[in-house]
Amino acid sequence: MEVLELYETAKVSQWNATRDIPWDRDEPMTATEHEVLRGLLSNYHFGEMAGIEIPAFALLKVKDREAKLFLSTQQMDEARHVEAFDLRLQQIGCDVKQVQMGNVAFSKALADLLTLETAEEAIAGIHIVFENLGSVAFRSHYRALCKTGRDPVTREILKRVIADETRHEQFGRTWMKKFLEANPERLEVVDGVQKRIAPMMIETLLHKSAKMKVWEIEREEDVASAVKKFTWILDDLGLDSSYLN
Ligand SMILES: [Fe+2]
Ligand SMILES: [Fe+2]
């Protein structure tokens, strides 16, 4: 899909966290389930905050009009994701201001993303690596909730967030493919970003993944298949994927 088509899809796919989530369908959960859900939602909160900041930087730096239009829609998407996950955290009794990041690899990956200097580096970091690998956390969680039929509130948030993230990821691939064809001398820089951040994201995803089984989330399995898909994406863009084997 071309960037302008993705922009068109974004315009008609806007949803509203206060209106479109079945907030009244909150269900009881055990203390362990609560602890794991709080941890997951906290990581989603931090990830989505970065999701607001890095595309904003890319929007500022990118030269072409189409990318600026698309990235403007992404700003609203990511703001809505923060809002939805924060509302869910509040609903299960957590103060969003007190939410803490307990995953060292994830902190490092987010800090690294904030050091990127050009549009292509930011898009490599956020759209190629973060949107592809990071969204495994959402997909894994969503798949488990569909299988068990539990937690309809989080399930609906995840379903809608995944649809948005898929669009962001498509934008990254489309934009980067054209960019690298026109600017092959930038390939090495883009490659450096993905090779540095992808291992941190993989480590992030596997952090405490065994505990998630309380919600029947099979993170390890999903990470393995996501890495395969990621390898294919890197190959298609002419980027190095050999370090993932
Ligand atoms: Fe997001
Ligand atoms: Fe996103």
Closest listed ligand to the CA of 127: 2
Q: How many helices (H) and strands (E) does the chain have?
A: 10, 0
Q: Is residue 142 a part of any domain in this protein?
A: yes
The total of structural domains in the chain comes to 1
What does the alpha-carbon distance between residue 204 and residue 50 come to, in Å, rounded to a whole number? 15
Residue 50, judged by CB atoms within 10 A of its CB (0-12, 13-18, 19+), counts as buried
128 alpha carbon to ligand 1 midpoint, in Å? 13
Distances (CA, A) of 83 to 14, 16, 161: 14, 10, 11
Give the domain extent around 161: 3-14+30-240
Residue 130 CA, ligand 1 centroid: distance in Å = 10
Q: Distance from the CA of 165 to the center of ligand 2, in angstroms?
A: 4
Q: Kindly give the distance from the C-alpha atom of residue 45 to the centroid of ligand 1, in angstroms, as a whole number.
A: 9
Q: What is the DSSP string of 85-101?
A: HHHHHHHTT--GGG---
Sign of CA dihedral 151, 153, 154, 155: positive
Specify if 23 maps to a domain.
no
88 part of a folded domain = yes
Q: Is residue 22 part of a domain?
A: no
Is residue 21 domain-resident? no
This model's pTM is above 0.75? yes
**How remote is the CA of residue 52 from the centroid of ligand 2, in Å?**
8
Q: Which residue has the tokens 């992808």?
A: 198
Digit-coded pLDDT (tens) for 145-188: 999 999 999 999 999 999 999 999 999 999 999 999 999 999 99
The pLDDT score that the predictor gives to residue 47 is: 93
**Structural domain includes residue 220:** yes
Separation of 133 CA from ligand 2 center, angstroms?
Answer: 11
245, pLDDT greater than 90: no
Q: Find the mean pLDDT for residues 116-133.
A: 95
pLDDT tens-digit readout, 91-124? 999 999 988 888 899 999 999 999 999 999 999 9
Instruction: Look up the CATH number of the domain holding residue 191.
Output: 1.10.620.20
CA dihedral 117, 103, 80, 220 (to 10 degrees): 100
